[in-house]
Structure 1
Amino acid sequence: MLKQEGTCREKKSEKKQESPAFKAGHNKVRRHLQKGENTMKRRDFMKLSAATALGATVAAMAPSALAATELDQTNGDLHTTVDRKTAAMGLGDGKTFAYDPENPYLNVNVGLFHDAQVMVGGQNVGAATYYLPDGMDPWAPAVIVLTPDNTTARAFSGSVTGRMWRTVAYKNKIAVAFFGPENGGSWNLSLSAAGRDDAAALDALYQLMRKKSVKLSGAFSMDKSHTALVGYKEGGAAALLFGARWASDFSSICAVDAAEVPAASLEAVGGQYVLPFPGDSTRGVQEEAIAAKTVDTPVWFVRSNADSTNKAALEFYLKANQAVAKGDGVYVSGRAGSAAEVWVTEKAQCPAAIWEKFSGQFKRFMALQLPGRVAKAEDFTRRGFDIHEEWVNGELRRWMVYVPSTYTGNEKVPLVLVMHGYTASMYAIAEESRWYDVAEQNGFIVVFAQGLVRPADLMGNIPTAMWLAGPFAALAGKDTDPSVDLEFINSLLDRMEQDYSIDTTRVYATGHSNGSLMTWATACRYASRFAAIAPVGYMFTPLPELDPAVLLPAWAFLGEYDSAGVAELVEDNGTVKALQGWNAHNATNEAAVAESTSYNGAFVTKSFMGGNAPLVQYTVVKDTPHVYLQEESVAIWNEFFSRYSRGADGTLYYQGNAVTAGQYQPSANWYAAK
């Protein structure tokens, strides 16, 4: 692997590569369709040609690395197009553009934002500079770059290295944040009480970047599982030290020409507890008690004296990863389920090489393995994935299909519909849930639907990806039908049945958070289309439109530390009311509830029988936050979806036997009193 390393000069002659996670979003859109009521035609880009030509002319005056133009990044009239290109080149301050329904996925904030104020305990501890390229997708990866001593974030963003990072961001459609020491002075590597708490400042920056408020400078939608940390010289030492303190925040760390990290400082931060659920909550720190020195983290020492002045830092990370030598300066983590690696090289690496080889390759997902599962980023251009962007019912919609290698089209196969959460993406829920792995192993097709990016003014946020269902329907706006997303899903199911050989008796739906809400709402409106559903991370009572004659098996999940629902079952709380509603609809016997555990006690499940089948199930996942786990996908298929089917006449079957409707028998013995 490291034999491919090279200097920045050498990289210029190499073939351009892109982050696996973003090849799909920008290079593999299969079809572009013209808007129509229910028709899908090739999208017409001719109206954009003049704007694009002018944008290219302006771009030609900028550094060549930023000269490329992309049709799909054109927004509105000629002035807007040129303004976006100019902002993306970093010519002047960043700009905020109006939401464009013709190009809804375009980020509204573009360019350099120098005043991202970082706050700790209500006090301003510094300002970061963001660079946001034109054309970022929802849920974009990010890199935090720590500057050398005596260098501000603003100054470094305009340096040669800073401009190279901006070029990397532009090409890969990722965000870059530059952050420097206090007042442009020195990093507090000795952890002096008289200096800034740089560890707290770094964590505050990470948390700030996750926010999407319109009141913030340069707000954007960040992929919390793919936030890499890079540092130069003293900033490299800061990345190694303070990145260790908040290891669970970051997907990887890269130290370039790093100054010495004091061994005593490393020892001090190594004993402190990290956030067990950094992408979701600050809860559980004391309960889970995860010491920084035990967190597996991908780390790359680039010309950072790992065999001498920074030997203590290398040993720290080798122990944290339980790493074993693979050869050529590569060490691989010995922790179960971890893809983390530690690299040591002496050749110079330019930002493009750092991103392409390392920072762009690792992700950290919230998982059963606390404080997260380190994995390689998925390549959505590989065989099996098919990505669509098409006009459907007057809106530009996206979805991604995974077709297993065993599919021939000669036999009908089941279909699983998966929907992501608020502000997230189809790529995010795919990697988090790994439903494509389950589909490959079991021979069914899975479709990951993308929520449209819509204005979120009522929530005080920039336009974000969402599903208009339940409370979120209020965000539809005066000119948007609140049912438009439900109709899109219905049209998408029709399209899947048209494009593939789908067993319509075995169609299932699942989703996370806002996608969980969408799962409940979709199932209520189109109940007869589904054999079973499995909403994760949000509870919801049946809607009046649910056909009372249609039994609909449902398995719901909440994490013990879930931020979008109360896992405990207490009289009259939202979770109990939702389960009571679904038990009533499916006519279960609440007095005969059964409880079981799995995954070494992590899954605690209550099952409510309706006739001869467990028509309602509810699982609390211990020691987990608001997340969709890959283990949940496996369990949902093996223990629930695969056992249900619905006949052409609407009859529900469980393990091949028709489900006979019982009579609802309420009981209070399965939840606690107030």
Structure 2
Amino acid sequence: MKRRDFMKLSAATALGATVAAMAPSALAATELNQTNGDLHTTVDRKTAAMGLGDGKTFAYDPEKPYLNVNVGLFHDAQVTVGGQNVGTATYYLPDGMDPWAPAVIVLTPDDTTAKAFSGTVTGRMWRTVACKNKIAVAFFGPENGGSWNLSLSAAGRDDAAALDALYQLMRKKSVKLSGAFSMDKSHTALVGYKEGGAAALLFGARWASDFSSICAVDAAEVPAASLEAVGGQYVLPFPGDSTRGVQEEAIAAKTVDTPVWLVRSNADSTNKAALEFYLKANQAVAKGDGVYVSGRAGSAAEVWVTEKAQCPAAIWEKFSGQFKRFMALQLPGRVAKAEDFTRRGFDIHEEWVNGELRRWMVYVPSTYTGNEKVPLVLVMHGYTASMYAIAEESRWYDVAEQNGFIVVFAQGLVRPADLMGNIPTAMWLAGPFAAMAGKDTDPSVDLEFINSLLDRMEQDYRIDTTRVYATGHSNGSLMTWATACRYASRFAAIAPVGYMFTPLPELDPAVLLPAWAFLGEYDSAGVAELVEDNGTVKALQGWNAHNATNEAAVAESSSYNGAFVTKSFMGGNAPLVKYTVVKDTPHVYLQEESVAIWNEFFSRYSRGADGTLYYQGNAVNAGQYQPSANWYAAK
């Protein structure tokens, strides 16, 4: 994934009193003088990043908040299954990793521990790749440094379970863990060498949706019987937070499309079974020169077979760094190419705003000339994530390009997360999260940042201020609710995804605010079912009361072949509150949601200069709230 250097802007256009724009290199160890707290110096971070000695944990520095606090080699990360230790991993975390960083899991050959392999020539080359690309690398070996259990013997370790446990461990941010960091669950690649290559092909197949791609180098033979056994196991159709939905969806591992590269792995002889397994999984067709492309509509997955040796840098740059795995309505998920944020249309900013170093990314459609005013959509990511992550997940930039509006992806500041027991992570201070503000931090600072950002967008671009909208996912959904309550008159409509919340007291009762909320059927941050007195029902009741809807006349509909099941509550002559359960999905933001939100909701609303709300060009007539119990189930 490529990311543009942060734009350098003049002090005259600063949002705060001070503007200090930086390139990503300014966030690296070479530019660091010292952190606060323990006064670790540049030399300390350089030494740790070089892998000289064990990894180190540095104090959070509010002057450089996006710097990762854990740097270097962290050995003996305990991997557990069912409460039992099943192995140890070694992490390498370079200096200067962004929040929500991609990662590579490297499986070692037989008779090689993770710690030992991290110090080999290949291991050091992977550490160099990590430094250059600011990604994490984890090394993992067979049980007790012995042999991978490729035969799936009941007497050996369940290597598939161990690999999944490592992936889940790498997603955790607890300060109690060795080398915790913020990992991009949609961009975690799996690479294996020799017997570890066979393990990557076999156990990666078992948990296909965990990994964005698999690369096997000089792979030993993968037993066909073992592939058949794991291929029949059910998997999540998405990088999941839990196992909810596995049995209901009944998706076999052998049907999940996965980018795979077999490098010098005898795909035409001893590993022919592995090649055929992945060709079938991808419904792949030959493209030529050892490349096969997925036959699934909308999938970017490919299978490569080559005999030329490949160094870690080539593996990352050509293949592992190119693919990402997202949830989509097309089960079992969506394999896409990583977005190039250096391409035309994207502008990335880092500036001091109200005393804090803030980031945001703007996408300007190719049709924008500045001669006419255009709508604006504000998009906010979830807890620990990033503006890049929500951009790729939701693909609002595609919707903006197709419909001629500007979209801004705002980045939550990386803050200490002591109250959650986590390392400093990207977050939005809103609702319950506002309590996480430190004693010297105003809990409204993020709300004020968003307000300033909207001012800035109206200054830098010709924005139609009657057509400004907000959406977000999870913690960003909470931020959407809170921002809309604080600055209701700025928005024509909002669409929070993945988190429900009742109106805050500061919401002006005179301002109608259309809201369309989404929850996944298997959402981990909310209960999709509408049951009396649960949080989802209470939130909808609160918004229905504010927008004066008639709950007795709720309209029900479905779309996307029944995947979206929607209830619409009319307020006067407009559907002012909508709620959609997305079937078969977890806690995610779908690109299909972005399309629907724009086409069916945002594009239909505007707000006049006097605050009047319009729906499809007609003024919305405020109704009277009429509560009813006919749209939810009794306890």
SS at match of 1:190: coil
Distance 2:3 2:532 in 1: 54
Alignment TM-score, normalising by the size of structure 1: 0.90
Distance 1:254 1:279 in 2: 22
Distance 1:42 1:208 in 2: 27
SS at match of 2:342: coil
SS at match of 1:422: coil
Question: 1:279 touches 1:366 (CA, 8 Å); kept in 2?
Answer: no
Question: Match of 1:139?
Answer: 100
Distance 1:623 1:504 in 2: 37
Question: Match of 1:430?
Answer: 391
- Give 1:277 shift: 3.5
SS at match of 2:15: helix
- Give 1:64 shift: 17
- Give 1:367 shift: 1.9
Question: 1:51 touches 1:74 (CA, 8 Å); kept in 2?
Answer: no
Identity %: 98
Measured on the aligned residues, the alpha-carbon RMSD in Å equals 5.1
Question: 2:381 touches 2:472 (CA, 8 Å); kept in 1?
Answer: yes
- Give 1:393 shift: 0.2
Question: Match of 1:278?
Answer: 239
SS at match of 1:58: coil
Change (3 A) 1:46 1:102: farther
- 1:462-541, aligned counterparts within 5 Å? 462-541=423-502
> What are the ranges of 5 or more consecutive residues in structure 1 without an aligned counterpart?
1-39
Question: Match of 1:175?
Answer: 136
| CA shift digits 1:64-118 (9 cap, x unpaired) | 9999935699888984221111100000000001100000000000000001100
SS at match of 2:325: strand
Question: 1:55 touches 1:82 (CA, 8 Å); kept in 2?
Answer: no
- Give 1:56 shift: 32
Change (3 A) 1:58 1:540: closer
- Give 1:282 shift: 1.5
SS at match of 1:596: strand
Question: 1:51 touches 1:77 (CA, 8 Å); kept in 2?
Answer: no
Change (3 A) 1:82 1:542: same
> What are the ranges of 5 or more consecutive residues in structure 2 without an aligned counterpart?
none
Change (3 A) 1:57 1:563: closer
Question: Match of 1:46?
Answer: 7
Question: 2:2 touches 2:340 (CA, 8 Å); kept in 1?
Answer: no
SS at match of 1:584: helix
> Alignment partner for residue 53 of structure 2, among 81, 92, 103?
92
Question: Match of 2:226?
Answer: 265
Question: Match of 2:206?
Answer: 245
Change (3 A) 1:161 1:632: same
- Give 1:281 shift: 2.2
- Give 1:336 shift: 1.9
Change (3 A) 1:469 1:45: closer
| CA shift digits 1:355-386 (9 cap, x unpaired) | 00000000001222233210000000000000
Question: 2:4 touches 2:348 (CA, 8 Å); kept in 1?
Answer: no
Change (3 A) 1:42 1:443: closer
Distance 1:48 1:399 in 2: 13
Question: 2:16 touches 2:354 (CA, 8 Å); kept in 1?
Answer: no
Question: 2:27 touches 2:64 (CA, 8 Å); kept in 1?
Answer: no
Question: 2:29 touches 2:46 (CA, 8 Å); kept in 1?
Answer: no
Question: 2:387 touches 2:411 (CA, 8 Å); kept in 1?
Answer: yes
Distance 1:61 1:158 in 2: 33
Question: 2:478 touches 2:501 (CA, 8 Å); kept in 1?
Answer: yes
Change (3 A) 1:439 1:56: closer
Aligned length: 635
SS at match of 2:244: coil
SS at match of 2:30: coil
Distance 2:624 2:477 in 1: 27
Distance 2:332 2:107 in 1: 23
| CA shift digits 1:378-427 (9 cap, x unpaired) | 00000000000000000000000000000000000000000000000000
1:130 and 2:88 equivalent? no
- Give 1:337 shift: 1.4
Distance 1:536 1:52 in 2: 32
Distance 1:57 1:616 in 2: 41
More divergent stretch after superposition (44-53 vs 97-106): 44-53
Distance 1:207 1:611 in 2: 48
Question: Match of 1:78?
Answer: 39
Question: Match of 1:555?
Answer: 516
Distance 1:56 1:309 in 2: 66
Question: 1:513 touches 1:537 (CA, 8 Å); kept in 2?
Answer: yes
Distance 1:666 1:573 in 2: 16
Question: 2:8 touches 2:21 (CA, 8 Å); kept in 1?
Answer: no
Distance 2:18 2:459 in 1: 43
- Give 1:278 shift: 2.8
Distance 1:237 1:510 in 2: 43
Change (3 A) 1:75 1:478: closer
- Give 1:569 shift: 0.4
Change (3 A) 1:136 1:317: same
SS at match of 1:47: coil
Distance 2:604 2:364 in 1: 21
More divergent stretch after superposition (366-375 vs 511-520): 366-375
- Give 1:55 shift: 31
